[in-house]
Amino acid sequence: MKLIVQIPVLNEAATIAGVIRDIPRTIPGIDSVEVLIIDDGCTDNTVEIALAEGADFVVRHTGRKGLARAFQTGIDTALRLGADMIVNTDGDHQYPGGEIPRLIAPLLAGVADVVIGDRQIGSIEHFSPLKKALQQVGSGVVRWASETDVPDTVSGFRALSREAGLRLFVTTDFSYTVENLIQAGKKGLIVTTVPIAINQVDRPSRLHQGNWNFIKRQAAIIARTYTTYEPLKTFSYIAAAFALFGLLALGRASYVFIGRRLGWFAQSLSNDQALLVGAVLMILAVLIFLMGLLADRIGGVRRLDEEQLYRLRAHEVADEQWRRAVSARLDTLEQKLEKVDEDAQVLGR
């Protein structure tokens, strides 16, 4: 059983040594623990320090691609390296490496596909009340969208089984946390959480430019991802809103029409505006609902594409493992042949 701990980094020279030293290399139930560094365009000596501290692998982007793409690069690389489990942690040392055994315990027990480290936001002293409130509201929205029960949805400390790594694929450019979680929920993967302690990080986030920027970009990701997996529901909700106001307008028009017939209102009272507005809104509601039906059918094609992507990635991973196994056997055979040659030379003397 191989565990690979991936660490996306961007100029983390001040903290990367502590992150790697903190990663346990011996965990019960795990045969080997390896560290993978994803260099997302570092301009300092982060990678050199990481290698000196014992990092096993480094994969580099030619320039800064963003956290989401760095995360996906790490997942793809870890799978090709033969990972049975993948743990993602940050290069700023927010997440203690000593929490990794607890994080992967549900995977080892076979009761989960994805495990999220719950930072217990409400108890973090250095988080402002505003940040805590925004995190709780945002996590509530993501729980609804993903149909999971994860209290800390934007935690980057997470563990994935090989199956989850193959099934999930990040498409956004900003952050992987929310999209990854919604995908997991919609694809029927078992998601669970474990409470964790965290270290205080004093430097400002490099991911976003303040709370409101973070909210805006995460909200866009939630809307896009939810619409991708639930297009009929999404368009139905929108169509229902138009239909509701359309029915109210048509109801007023009908009320005025009947009132004029019964003499409740003057004949000069017009209901033309309400009738026009109601008719337009109802037409829009029907058109939006039809768009939802079309999007739902397109979603069926997308699900086939995702299954093909899954099988392609699984095939690539299997091929890479086969190549590594053959290479290892050839190396062993060469060593045996060299030993035979050495023995033959000794006998010849």
Sequence-ordered list of residues with C-beta below 8 angstroms from that of 67, at least 6 positions apart, any chain: 8, 40, 174, 175, 176, 207
User: What average pLDDT does range 298-320 have in this prediction?
Assistant: 89
pTM beyond cutoff 0.85:
no
List the domain boundaries for the chain: 2-228, 231-325
- 281 has pLDDT over 80: yes
User: What average pLDDT does range 134-155 have in this prediction?
Assistant: 89
104-136 pLDDT per residue, tens: 999 999 999 999 999 888 777 777 787 788 888
CA–CA separation, 224 vs 146, rounded Å? 12
- 260 has pLDDT over 80: no
- 170 has pLDDT over 80: yes
CA–CA separation, 238 vs 63, rounded Å? 40
Of residues 238 and 261, more confidently modeled: 238
Give the per-residue pLDDT at 349: 58
- The one-letter amino acid code at 4 reads I
- The one-letter amino acid code at 81 reads L
CATH architecture of 2-228: Alpha-Beta Complex (3.90)
CA–CA separation, 88 vs 253, rounded Å? 59
Q: Is 118 left (phi over 0), alpha (psi -120 to 50) or beta?
A: beta
Closest CA to 165 of 322, 325, 317, 8: 317
Give the per-residue pLDDT at 216: 83
